[in-house]
Each structure stands twice: as structure tokens, then as C-alpha cells.
A and B are shown apart, each in its own frame.
Chain A
Amino acid sequence: QLVLTQSPSASASLGASVKLTCTVSIGHINYAIAWHQQQPEKGPRYLMKVNSDGSHSKGDGIPDRFSGSSSGTERYLTISSLQSEDEADYYCQTWGTAWVFGGGTKLTVL
């Protein structure tokens, strides 16, 4: 079964960097994922697609501070130079015969 696992919460200081992790179920190690950001009271926003080889392609207008990478079954979203507006829920998503979301990570900027 295709499952994505995320830690429920993460925190980092203003101006620092944070690396969020999305783990793909072991039988789906070659699956790409997409990262989406949902700020409070807003609709989700597509950030980027991350392939199993670590390559990534970002959505329109996504700042260079956001980057993606991959290692084994783990897909990462790294946000550098954290800003207050980065405080949001971050979801990973993948697709096979249907669509699957991870449980989301609530990022707090201290």
C-alpha cells in the first residue's frame, strides 16, 4: 500500500534553515512526490516535485530558499533563511492509481 509518512511538527528559528521529511512506503522507493504549503486560512500552494533521484522542479514563483532532495525512501523539503510567512502546514503528496497525501507537518518559526 502506497503510504507517505511525515512528522506532525517541526520548528526552527527565524533566519535559520529547516529540513522536512516525507517517507515513502518501502515498496515505492522510486516514487516522486510533490510538496505543498498551506498557510493559515489559505488554500494550499504547490511548491515543487521531488524525484527519487533528488532532482526537483519548482512551481511558479517559488523562492530559491525552497529546495528539494531525496535519499532512499525519504524525500526532503529544505527551507533556508526562514521567514515568518513560512509558518504553515506542509504536505507531501504522491500518486499511483490514485492520489495520496502525507499527514502534514506543522512548521513553527520561532
Chain B
Amino acid sequence: EVQLVESGGGLVQPGGSLRLSCAASGFIFSKYAMSWVRLAPGKGLEWVSAITANGGGTNYGDSAKGRFTISRDNSKDTLYLQLNSLTAEDTAIYYCAKIAARSSGWINYFDYWGQGTLVTVSS
């Protein structure tokens, strides 16, 4: 059974930093691209960032560019998201998601999701 368990969320002051983790199990983590998606209060799902299976390629949404960094440790089956220069607009539940495999390329739909970790940015 595929499981994705996020952690690392919490209350942080504006301008602060946080590192989120996503522990994966139930599949060969090193073979799949992964992604982070967030859900802000009263808003819809927003794609944040994604990373290739070997970590050699990354992609960021406009809200994350220059402030967030995605990474992974395939020896630990864990995905990370470093959040810097946080503002109130970054308050959201952050979900990690597994990207479905495809025969060519790595950009595809999300086929499994975690339960999320809440990040609250407030003074």
C-alpha cells in the first residue's frame, strides 16, 4: 500500500523558514517523480513544486520560485520542501504527491497523495 506521510509544518513568523518532509513507503521511491501541492484557506489546490525521480530536475510554480527548494533523499525514501521568506499568503496545508510513471518524460498526473501538514505564517 502506497503511503505518503508529511511532517514539519507548524507556526512560523513572517520572513521565517521551515522544512517539510514526506516519508514514502509501499513503492520504489527512487523510480518516481514527486511533487508538493498546497491548499490555502478558502482557495483551491495549487501546484508548488516537483522533482524528477533521480533529483536531477526540478520545477517550481510562480509562488515558489526563488523562495522554496525541493529535494529528495532516495536512500531515505523521503521528499523535502525548504520554505524560506515566508509570508501570510503561504499559510496552507502542504501535500506531497506521487507522480504517475509514463513512458517518456516525467510530467504526469498525481496518483497518490499524503494527508498534508499545516503551515501557518503569523506573528
Contact (A93, B109) CB under 8 Å given A42-B115, A43-B116, A100-B47:
yes
Point out the residues of chain A lying under 8 angstroms from B59, CB to CB.
97-98
Point out the residues of chain A lying under 8 angstroms from B37, CB to CB.
44, 99, 101
How near does chain B come to A69, taking the closest CB pair, in angstroms? 17
Main SS of chain A's interface residues?
strand
Contact of A45 among B45, B100, B113 (CB under 8 A): B113
Contact (A98, B44) CB under 8 Å given A43-B115, A43-B116:
no
Please determine whether A49 and B109 come into contact, CB atoms closer than 8 angstroms. Answer: yes
Total A residues in contact with B, Cβ cutoff 8 Å: 26
Point out the residues of chain B lying under 8 angstroms from A100, CB to CB.
47
The answer to whether A79 has its CB under 8 Å from any CB of chain B is: no
Please determine whether A98 and B47 come into contact, CB atoms closer than 8 angstroms. Answer: yes
**Residue-by-residue, is A80-107 near B (CB-CB < 8 Å gives 1, otherwise 0)?**
0000000001010111111111111000
Total B residues in contact with A, Cβ cutoff 8 Å: 23
A94-B100 Cα distance, complex, nearest whole Å: 12
Please determine whether A95 and B113 come into contact, CB atoms closer than 8 angstroms. Answer: no
The answer to whether B95 has its CB under 8 Å from any CB of chain A is: yes
Q: B45 — nearest CB in chain A belongs to which residue? A: A101
Point out the residues of chain A lying under 8 angstroms from B73, CB to CB.
none
A104-B45 Cα distance, complex, nearest whole Å: 8
**Residue-by-residue, is B95-118 near A (CB-CB < 8 Å gives 1, otherwise 0)?**
101001000000111111111100
The answer to whether A77 has its CB under 8 Å from any CB of chain B is: no
Q: B109 — nearest CB in chain A belongs to which residue? A: A34
**Residue-by-residue, is B16-50 near A (CB-CB < 8 Å gives 1, otherwise 0)?**
00000000000000000001010100001111001
Please determine whether B35 and A99 come into contact, CB atoms closer than 8 angstroms. Answer: yes
Contact of A104 among B44, B100, B108, B111 (CB under 8 A): B44
The answer to whether A72 has its CB under 8 Å from any CB of chain B is: no
A34-B61 Cα distance, complex, nearest whole Å: 19
Binding site for A on B (CB under 8 A): 35, 37, 39, 44-47, 50, 59, 61, 95, 97, 100, 107-116
Binding site for B on A (CB under 8 A): 32-34, 36, 38, 42-46, 49, 59, 89, 91, 93-104
10 contacts between A and B (CB under 8 A): A43-B113, A43-B114, A46-B109, A46-B111, A93-B109, A95-B107, A95-B108, A99-B47, A99-B107, A104-B45
